[in-house]
Amino acid sequence: MGEPYLSMAEIKAKYPNEWVFVDQMTAPRRSEPFAGRVVWHHSNRDDFDGGLERVRHIERGAIWYTGEPDPDEIWLLNT
């Protein structure tokens, strides 16, 4: 059995201050913009990036940092 489907609030609570890769995303309601299944996570950015190889088979997903945003780190994703 895989990881459960979680709201963004649940992801932030379960993986505080971590980088997460989420697939099977939806936007279920306005107050909680995203939900999905966490398939890879790590607190260290370099280790997170190194582990993305394990999820390369996933064609669509999103990367989030669940802690406070770093203004020097801005990501633009081409969809």
- What pLDDT, on the 0 to 100 scale, is given for residue 31? 52
| End-to-end Cα distance, the chain | 29
- What pLDDT, on the 0 to 100 scale, is given for residue 79? 47
**Could you report the average pLDDT of every consecutive run of 10 residues in the chain (79 residues)?**
80 94 74 78 93 85 82 55
Q: How far apart are CA 5 and CA 36, in angstroms?
A: 5
Spans of all domains in the chain: 47-79
Q: How far apart are CA 74 and CA 55, in angstroms?
A: 22
